[in-house]
Each structure stands twice: as structure tokens, then as C-alpha cells.
Structure 1
Amino acid sequence: MNVSTHEKSDIQESPDAGFGKRSLGKRLVEANTFWIGLVLVGLIVLFSVIAPDTFPTLFTFQTLFIESSVLLILSVGMTFVIITAGIDLSVGSVLILSGMAGGKTMEALSGGDASKAGWGVIVVGLVVAVVTGTIWGLINGALVALAKLPPLIVTLGTMGASLATAYLFNGGSDLRTVPAALTQTLGYGTSFGVVPNLVIVAIVITVIGAWLLRTTKFGRYTFAVGSNAEGARRVGIGVTAHLLKVYTLTGFLAGLAGFLSLAYYNSTTISGHTTDNLNAITAVVMGGTSLFGGVGTILGTVIGVFIPAVLRKGFNIIHVQDFWQLFIVSWVLIAAVWFDQQRRRRRNSR
């Protein structure tokens, strides 16, 4: 059993995998992250050339980053799950439920009108949203790690259960009373004049996730479990406990994303999040994380989030119809999975 994680992860594949004797340029060219990064840069250049007056603008990139922030936070959690060779189909529904729970709490504490609520009420709403997401993540983890049920089946079930619970909270409709202070400060507020506060939160979460995966024992155990769970047990890693932590972390991030979504959209926007789970999986896989486990980087996930985001933004600007956008993004995902399988075959043949 190879517990070392760096020999299987893109740019991280340096000293631990025997790459130390190769030049930096060769290691860079062999890294999957490098190539998907080039794809992203190429798309930005392409749309900037096609629509030079509308695409390469501050407003376009501000909205692009804001619209991608919630998905990025979901995708950070999904990266950990998929590296363990698991899956979480429930994150979109947990996001909705968490936002609904936080919103209903703020509404109740404000006497039915949350729009004028102060920061004390907002903080309580945040705590409720995050705790709600964490509890659902813990439920997923318990069913996967303790009950030994397949992650696909578990999270498919909790996806429906959490969404139904969200509907029950508000009689099947969206909650639309959100504190104005929350929307103005976090949803649409900026720092340093141009950087949206929502983007700052997403960056902080992403950096912490990258640090956790790249430098800590938690990250090393995540790769080890995904590479060979039985081998990880034999070298003393508590696989059950670790899977429980990973799914709980994913639920925590889904809860946070739900609250941030509430701040940005000024509503729970249930219909707008029904495919967030698939979008997060798409971003993670497109970013080079293997569905078979043991391989992945947060940097790759960031790029994977922005490739379809840039495609959609560019297509909207040049007036490409929605069904063509879906068609192209879907084939990009299939190409990413094909590339991952080819890479696995090459590695296994060495």
C-alpha cells in the first residue's frame, strides 16, 4: 500500500513520487492541472477576441467570480469525497435545506419580517444553516462509513430527503425574506473597491481546503483511503472515522454555501440549485480528480469550476442558445473522464 499522496496528484507529484530528478518544466508539462489550466486560459482569450468590448471587462469577471463562488465552495467539499472514491449527490439539496433553515430562523427571530434583522439575528441564522448542513453530512458519513452502504445510494436517498424537508419548512415555496444587511454586505458588498465579499469568502475556503488536502495528515489520509482503503487500514489509518469526517466536512461546506446563496439571491431559489450536485461533480472531475479515488487537487477543482462558467458566460455574451451550451459542456465533461481513464491506464502500465 502506498500511503504517499503526492505521487498521484498533478502538481503535487514532485519529490514523493520520484519526480525530483526531473526538471520543473517536464514535471509541469506532465501535470494534468497544467493542461486544464491552458484550456481555461485559451477559452478566456478566445471569448476576449470574439467579444472584445463585452467579455474582457471588470463587470464580466466580477459577475463570473460571484456566480461561481457558491459552486466553488460545494466543489471543495466534493473534491475530498471523490478522492476517497466516494460521491455525494445530496450537496445541492443540503444547500437548499441549510439556506431554508437559516432563513426561517432569521424570520422567526424577527417576528416574521427578516428584512430588517440585525447582525445578531444574521449570525444565529448562519450558525443554524451551517449546523444543518453538518448534521446531514454526518448522516451521510454514518450511513457510508458505519452502515457500509454504497455512497451513491446513500446520497441519492438523502438528496431527496433533504429537499423534501426544505419544502416542508416553507410549504413547498421559496423563502423570500432575507435581512437587507446580509444581502448588501455579503451578497453584493465589495472590499478594496472591486473585490466582492462573496468571492473573498470563497477564496478563503478554497485556500483552507487546499492547505488541508496538501499539507495535513487529514489530506494524506484522504488520498490513502481513496487509493486503497484496505491497505490504509493495515497501516493503522482509521478509515471509518476518516470517511465520517470527510462527509461531515462536505455537509458543513454545503451548509455554508446555502447561507451564502441566501445572501446573494435574496431567496432560497430552490429551482436554481437542483443541479448543483451534478455541477460540483462535473467541476471536480473536469479539474482532474479521479472518480476512482486517490487523485485530485483543489487547484484543479478551481479550474474545473471556471471552465464551464467561462463557457456559459462567453456563450451568453455571444448569444449561443442554452441547449448548445449544455451540449458542449457535457462533451467537455466526457472528454475529461476519458482523459482520466487514459492517464490511469498509462500509469498502471508502467
Structure 2
Amino acid sequence: MSTVATKPREAPAKTPPAKGRVLKLLATQQLQIVFVLLVIYAIFAIARPETFPTLYNLRGIVVNTSILAVLGAGMTLVIITGGIDLSVGSVLVFSGVIASKTMVAVGGQGWGAAAIGLLVACGCGLGWGLLNGVLIAKLNIPPLIVTLGTLGMALGFSQILTKGVDLRDAPDVLVNNIGFGNVFGQVPWISVIALVVVLVVGVLLHRTRWGLHTYAIGSNAEAGRRVGLKVDRQLIGVYALAGLLAGFAGLLNLVFYQSTTIGGQTQTNLNVIAGVVIGGTSLFGGVGTIFGTIIGLFIPAVLQNGFVILGVQSFWQQVVVGAVLIAAVYADQTRRARALRGGRSRVRFPFLSSRTTPTKEH
């Protein structure tokens, strides 16, 4: 009886795990963003070598980005879920107004009044964030409409309470120690505080189950719901945290500018969204990093600072940032189309709906 030798079956080619592909994609995006920032910085440094690449000027750029970084951390969470929050600038103003009035009412200039002001500012921001989250998650109102409405409400209440006049009351201990204080004589306290906030949110997003659930909702909310994720509760929590950070940023804004800056925050929400998207967070949800957001926020800040030093009208900064924002969204669409090549997918705009519509792949 003869035996027939059979060719051993070849093992199927191993495909890189999905997590590895995602990490590789994120790393590539972040390297591109860092490269763009370095190129912009180098251009201005060559154009004005005596003023732009100085430690004093770099310190100014960092300080100007600090408050936006606090807002950007919360906005990153929101956009990763496939939502949007247009109200952060108005919530910042409202929180600063209420905190200022409260600190004046308690009649103190010390740390006790400052602590009360901090709690009030964060509480106001948390309240607006919870309102956004409940309306979006429970009443199925699109995030764009909800946050556009709360933008007008928060700003309107601020103007009613102040009659449109900026408040300039803040405890001296906050202004002198936080607004203009330095660590080791060089590093601004306000930037250190912003860095701590960003690191905490980064750990929460990238190293906890809560952060994993945030990504899951942005990728496919319906699939997450089917495996037991409490999608509504997660969305409410994300918007609540974004609101709390906006309230905290309102207090930082008050002590740094010594004003509630009611008329100076009209572009804040758009600047923050632009920085987050330029930093690689996808408007379609499911993709984004805190590190990318910080780099993305530095790009408009460096552009603005460089234009001022070069004597170029600041309006050009808005033009350039707008063009970079469009390019970033187009690049994101192109990456997604390449990833889904060979299958059919429906272009989604989840920030126009209260739920992320699952993409069908064949």
C-alpha cells in the first residue's frame, strides 16, 4: 500500500492586528503635524532671527496657548465621540462672569474667595456640559443644534448679568500667583496648570476603560450598545467633562486677562475646533489624541505670533488657519477612503446627529 505525500498546508499570512494599524496611523499623523509645526516655526525664525526664536517669544506663545489647551482637551473627547461643541467660548465667559460676581459677593481677596470662585466656575461649566449631554443623548437633538443653542444662551446670560460690560474683579492672590506667577522664575504657572490638566485628560482617554469606551462610541455607537456599553451615559459624561474644563478655563481666563473678555471670545470655539482637527482628531469620530490636539493648537498660535512680528495683518492668520483646517479634513477623508477601498461605505457626518451611524462594510 503506497502512501501519497501531501503538501503541508501553508499557514495564512498574518495580518497586523487592528490595534497595531491604528497606532501606526496615529503615529504617522502626529509626525506629520509635528513636521508642519517645525516648518512654520523655521520659516518665521529665518525671517526674523533676532526676535522670533527667542526664549521670551516662545514663552509668550506657550502662555497664549495654555487656556486653549484646556478647552482643546475637552473638545478632543467630544469630537472623538463624533459630536461637536460650539458652546465652549460662551461657557468660558459665563463661568468667568459668575465666578467674578461670587468672589466679589463673598468680599474677599484671599485664597478662600479664590477657592469659592474656582468651585463656582467649574460648577457652571459642568452644568452647561450636562445640559448639552442630556439634550443630545436623551432627546436625540443633534449636537450641532444643541451646542449652537447653548452658545447663544450662555453668552446672552453673561451680557444680561453684566449689561455687556466686562467685569474686572479677581482676587489679587490669583492674579499675582496664577495669572502672572512663575515657577522657578521662568515657567508660567498658568502653563503648568494647563499641562497638568492636559496630562490628566490624556491619561483618562488613553489609559482607562472610560477612554476606550469613548473611542468605541465614535467608531460605532450601535455596535457598542449591542455589546453592553451605556452609550447615553458615556455621551453625557463626555459633554459634562468638556463643560467642566470650559468652566475652569473661564477662571484661568479671568485671572490672566483680569477681565471676563465678553467680546473677545467670538472665535474661541472655532479656534479650538480647528486646533483639534488640525491635530489629527477626525470629525467623523473614533480617531484622535490629546498630543495631536496640543500640537494642532500651537500651529495657529505660532502663525499669529509670526504674523505680528512680521508686521502682517492678523486677518491673514484666519485665512491660513482656515485653509489648513480644510486641508486637514480633506486628508482625513482621503485616509478613510483609502482604508475602506474595496468596500462600500457611507460618508458620515455624526456631529449632525445625536448617534453615530454604523458604517456598513462588505
TM-score between both structures, scaled by the size of structure 1:
0.90
Which of 92, 102, 106 is matched with 1:105 structurally?
Answer: 102
Aligned to 1:221: 213
Structure 2: runs of 5 or more not aligned = 1-15, 343-362
User: 1:224-263: CA deviations, max 9, x gaps?
Assistant: 0000110000011000000000000000000000000001
Aligned to 1:87: 84
Which of 62, 71, 75 is matched with 2:72 structurally?
Answer: 75
Aligned to 1:52: 49
Structure 1 residue 43: deviation in Å? 1.2
Which of 43, 56, 61 is matched with 2:58 structurally?
Answer: 61
Structure 1 residue 106: deviation in Å? 0.6
**Structure 1 residue 284 corresponds to structure 2 residue 276:** yes
Aligned to 1:31: 28
User: Equivalents in 2 of 1:42, 1:165: separation in Å?
Assistant: 43
Amino acid at match of 1:212: L
Kept in 2, the 8 Å contact 1:66–1:199? The answer is: yes
SS of the aligned residue for 1:349 comes to coil
Kept in 2, the 8 Å contact 1:82–1:289? The answer is: yes
Kept in 2, the 8 Å contact 1:186–1:264? The answer is: yes
Which of 148, 152, 162 is matched with 1:156 structurally?
Answer: 148
- Which ranges of 4 or more aligned residues in structure 1 deviate by more than 2 Å? 14-20, 27-30
SS of the aligned residue for 1:88 comes to coil
Task: State, as a whole percentage, how many aligned pairs show the same letter.
Answer: 50
Amino acid at match of 1:44: Y
Structure 1 residue 16: deviation in Å? 4.9
Bigger helix fraction = 1
User: 1:305-327: CA deviations, max 9, x gaps?
Assistant: 00010011011111111222221
Aligned to 2:345: none
User: 1:258-289: CA deviations, max 9, x gaps?
Assistant: 00000100010111112111111101101010
Structure 1 residue 339: deviation in Å? 0.7
**Structure 1 residue 119 corresponds to structure 2 residue 127:** no
**Structure 1 residue 17 corresponds to structure 2 residue 19:** yes
User: 1:125-156: CA deviations, max 9, x gaps?
Assistant: 11100000000000000000111110000001
Aligned to 2:178: 186
Task: Give the 5 Å matches for 1:227-238.
Answer: 227-238=219-230
Kept in 2, the 8 Å contact 1:84–1:227? The answer is: yes
User: 1:189-232: CA deviations, max 9, x gaps?
Assistant: 00012110000011001111111111101110001000011000
Structure 1: runs of 5 or more not aligned = 1-13
Structure 1 residue 296: deviation in Å? 0.4
Kept in 2, the 8 Å contact 1:93–1:162? The answer is: yes
Q: 1:28 and 1:288, CA in 2 relative to 1: closer, same or farther beyond 3 A?
A: closer
User: Equivalents in 2 of 1:323, 1:80: separation in Å?
Assistant: 29
Kept in 2, the 8 Å contact 1:73–1:202? The answer is: yes
Aligned to 1:333: 325
Number of residue pairs the alignment of both structures matches: 327
User: Equivalents in 2 of 1:132, 1:168: separation in Å?
Assistant: 16
Which of 200, 205, 209 is matched with 2:197 structurally?
Answer: 205
Structure 1 residue 18: deviation in Å? 3.7
User: 1:81-137: CA deviations, max 9, x gaps?
Assistant: 000000001010000000111001011111xxx6xx111011101110000000000
Kept in 2, the 8 Å contact 1:43–1:310? The answer is: yes
Kept in 1, the 8 Å contact 2:274–2:321? The answer is: no
Structure 1 residue 29: deviation in Å? 9.5
Kept in 2, the 8 Å contact 1:69–1:198? The answer is: yes
Instruction: Tell which structure's C-alpha radius of gyration is larger.
Output: 2
User: 1:17-57: CA deviations, max 9, x gaps?
Assistant: 2449xxx9xx4896111101100111111111111110111
TM-score between both structures, scaled by the size of structure 2:
0.88
SS of the aligned residue for 2:259 comes to coil
Q: 1:333 and 1:120, CA in 2 relative to 1: closer, same or farther beyond 3 A?
A: same
SS of the aligned residue for 2:159 comes to helix
**Structure 1 residue 317 corresponds to structure 2 residue 319:** no
Kept in 1, the 8 Å contact 2:26–2:288? The answer is: no
